[in-house]
Amino acid sequence: MRKALALSLLAVFLGGCASDPADRDISGTWINQAAIDTAAKGVPLREALQANGPNLEWDVNTRAGQARYTNGFETVEGKVLGEQSGTWKVEIYGSSGTDLKRDGKQLLQVANDNEPEQAFDRAKDPAPEGAPLGASFERALYSAYLGGGWKIVNGPGEGSTVQFQADGAVQGLPGADRYALCLAGDCASMSGGNDTVWLQLNGQGNPWIFTRKGKELEIFQAVNSAQADEVPSFSPGNRQWTLEKQ
């Protein structure tokens, strides 16, 4: 009798743990790790983002009833309506809503008429407090896609080692101290499907077109074929650098 009672109480205890609301809570910063992992294999960046996106980062606060996400171009805000059977309803301002739910350690954005299902992981190295939404994704992407040493095998500074930092700083690349990868938006639409990177020195910079194939990174001048009164349209010009990952 006592043994049966103990087993019954244990079952109740374990059942309570399994349904612990904390296991279903989705509060926090979540990034599209699948897109980062795909890019880190050395494929074109836009190809990796399009295959796993379009959204890059979610920031959710269920207690405050707030949720927002970014696709690299715009920030979309919404209201968390509540949770039912493990699914959180989010009302997106100005459009239809979306559903979020936990799947183990991941956050799933449920597929709808506008977007496919997308998976997100908690940011392991969140951006500093006050950073814009998407900064945590960028830090993780920059580390995985361009982290480590790159040797200049052709171009200005040949023989030098270049270091791309997670915070957007770059060391060892002549004429540049900051960089930013184009993820979406105007910079993408103006590049004709090419991957672009913004390189600047002392606050002044220009777009460059790059190609990534495995451990090789080539950076080309971006040639604008548009007229002065037209939207810029960039295509690859002369190759400036060839870098190899060390």
CATH number of the domain enclosing 71: 2.40.128
- Of 118 and 228, the one with more pLDDT: 118
* Predicted model pTM: 0.88
Are 203 and 161 part of one and the same domain?
Answer: yes
Give the number of domains in the chain. Answer: 2
Among the residue ranges 6-10, 62-66, 89-93, 194-198, the one predicted with the least confidence is: 6-10
pLDDT score for 10: 43
DSSP-H helix ranges across 147-182: none
- Give the separation between CA 18 and CA 23, rounded to whole angstroms: 8
Domain assignment of residue 126, given as a range: 23-142
- Residue 183 in any domain: the answer is yes
Average model confidence (pLDDT) for the chain? 90
Contacts of 19 (CB under 8 A, 6+ apart): none
Among the residue ranges 46-60, 87-101, 146-160, 163-177, the one predicted with the least confidence is: 87-101
Among the residue ranges 28-32, 126-130, 209-213, 227-231, the one predicted with the least confidence is: 126-130
Are 132 and 189 part of one and the same domain?
Answer: no
